Amino acid sequence: MQTFDVAENGLRELNQTLQAQSVDTNQTNWEVKNPKGSHAIAVGLDAPIEVTVKGSTGYYCAGMNQQATVRVEGSVGPGVAENMMSGTVVVEGDASQYAGATGHGGLLVIKGNASSRCGISMKGIDIVVQGNIGHMCAFMAQAGNLVVCGDAGDALGDSLYEARLFVRGSVKSLGADCVEKEMRPEHIEILKDLLDRAEIDAKPEDFKRYGSARNLYNFDVDNSAAY
């Protein structure tokens, strides 16, 4: 286990050190002490290392992650795992706005609640939230899966493309072009796999699936009230 103290050595050295790890590094376990809400902690990683952040972080923790597993033992500020390509990010606490924004791949697990716009413009990332999510989540979401074990706020999946949304609790309102869809066996399988990987004990059968009605895919003046 390698230990890095942010308060002592600074953000620049932290990211430089973690980004320098290669695919075949033998320094695979890292502990980051004293994050103290710093922004851009553990961003741009690209190696199969495991990083545990001992405390809460500011904006963009684990931004653009590739391959690495980043576990935050605290809460995270806006844009955790933004534009993640691969790997896993686990947040033990809550997440602020834009969690997993524009993520192309990988798995983001939030053990607490996620604020508004979680999964905005997601492009293939899988996001599992054990608690509730705020308003406008999965706005313009293109691909990937958003799983919510609690409740969803207003305008879920507004202007959604091809992302799949699974919600166990209530949905305050659906956004434009987002509709409830039939939960077929293949969706149960996808959900089961995501819950297993997120280490969350929940029955896939208790969830409802939401997706795009695909009515807004090509502009039609008769739909102008929806824009």
Partner 1 sequence: MKDMDSRIPRTMPIQSATFTNEINAEIRRAAATGIYDIRGGGAKRRVPHFDDLLFLGASVSRYPLEGYRERCDTSVTLGTRFAKNPIKLDIPITIAGMSFGALSGPAKEALGRGASAAGTSTTTGDGGMTPEERGHSTKLVYQYLPSRYGMNPNDLRKADAIEIVVGQGAKPGGGGMLLGQKISDRVADMRTLPKGIDQRSACRHPDWTGPDDLEIKILELREITNWQVPIYVKVGATRPYYDTALAVKAGADVVVMDGMQGGTAATQDVFIEHVGLPTLSCIRPAVQALQDLGVHREVQLVISGGIRTGADVAKALALGADAVAIGTAALIALGDNDPKWESEYQKLGTTTGAYDDWHEGQDPAGITTQDPDLAARVDPVDAGRRLRNYLKVMTLEAQTIARACGHNHLHNLEPEDLCALTMEAAAMAKVPLAGTDWYPGKAGF
Q: Which residues bind partner 1 (CB under 8 A)?
A: 11-12, 15-16, 19, 39-40, 43-44, 46, 58-60, 63-64, 66, 78-79, 82-83, 85, 97-98, 101-102, 104, 117, 120-121, 123-124, 139-140, 142-143, 159, 161-162, 217-219, 221
| Distance between CA atoms of residues 157 and 70, nearest Å | 27
- Which CB, 200 or 216, lies closer to partner 1? 216
- Which CB, 42 or 147, lies closer to partner 1? 42
Helix (H) and strand (E) counts for the chain? 2, 11
Tokens linked to 225 = 């009230």
- C-beta of 188: minimal distance to partner 1 in Å? 24
- C-beta of 9: minimal distance to partner 1 in Å? 14
Q: What is the identity of the amino acid at 15?
A: N
- C-beta of 196: minimal distance to partner 1 in Å? 25
| Distance between CA atoms of residues 124 and 119, nearest Å | 10
- Which CB, 126 or 207, lies closer to partner 1? 126
| Distance between CA atoms of residues 113 and 140, nearest Å | 21
| Distance between CA atoms of residues 192 and 5, nearest Å | 38
- C-beta of 94: minimal distance to partner 1 in Å? 17
- Which CB, 170 or 226, lies closer to partner 1? 226
- C-beta of 163: minimal distance to partner 1 in Å? 10
Contact 188/207 with Cβ under 8 angstroms? no
- Which CB, 99 or 194, lies closer to partner 1? 99
Report in angstroms the alpha-carbon separations of 93 from 125, 133, 171, 173, 181: 20, 13, 22, 25, 30
